[in-house]
Amino acid sequence: MNTLVSKPWVLARIFEPDVTIVDCRFILGQPTAGRDAYEESHIPGAIYLDLEADLSDPAAEHGGRHPLPDVERLAALLGKLGMNNDTRIIAYDDQGGSNASRLWWLLTYIGHENVYVMDEGFSAWTGAKYPVSKDQAIRVPSTYTAKVKTEWVVGVETIRDVISGADDSSNVVLIDSREPRRYAGLEEPIDKKTGHIPSALNKFWKGVHDEHGRWKSAAKLQEHFADMPKDRELIVYCGSGVTACPNILALREAGYDNVKLYAGSWSDWISYSENPVATGKE
């Protein structure tokens, strides 16, 4: 799929007129840290999109900690920032690709075809002595039209059907992207309940990286997901629908086509008191 691109690939394209680079740096619990870092230094020409303010809707009783943004609001924002349906969009962060993958997922979900995630992140960019800037580019507004791929996302009712054995749930695999200790119910630093959705298998999202923190090759990703069947539907979740996205990107790089996001994820699941939870290993 060639969604993952290298620093040199990005460097060669930063001034091409149909390219928009998006800085997605964000630190959970430090809501201004990403924008502060962007304003201090970023890839030349890059704009900033905030995980919570731009790439999520406000949290409510249900829907998880990072609900998907309203599609029309997102499309209007992209247009205001000078992007249209033909723009080549390159996302980066400094969090292992988790936030950049969220943007990749959202853009693909609304029908965008030319979206890429830069490998490694901003620290590696500066470590390689590549150019940086404090300037914020003037953007000429454009028009963006969303064409939503509804099949890319599922809600809580679908997950309930899966674990109850309803419909064709035997052809579905749930994948939990959180740290193994959170999955097993041994600790939970963020959400109100410990454990995981019954029947879910654990694939910690950072497993898509090699020992140097770079994304694994397609061949290595195929090895990483070798225990995941390609003839079944895969539904991926995490704590709030963000770190599930690098797993989804990696699965698609490895040749899996039927991969969906449970957008509300664990924080949505436990907002319903009647939903069962499991602990330990499946």
Active site residues: 238
* Angle in degrees, 0-180, between the axes of helices 98-109 and 244-253, rounded to the nearest 10: 70
- Report how many helices (DSSP H) and strands (DSSP E) the chain contains, helices first: 10, 10
Sheet containing 4-5: give its strands across. Answer: 4-5, 115-118, 88-92, 19-23, 47-48
Listed in order, strand segments (DSSP E) in the chain are 4-5, 19-23, 47-48, 88-92, 115-118, 153-154, 172-176, 201-202, 233-237, 259-262
**The tokens of 176 are what?**
């939990």
CB atoms within 10 A of CB 4: 24
Is 130:92 a contact under the CB 8 Å cutoff? no
**The tokens of 79 are what?**
């247009």
Nearest Cα to 77, choosing from 115, 58, 49? 49
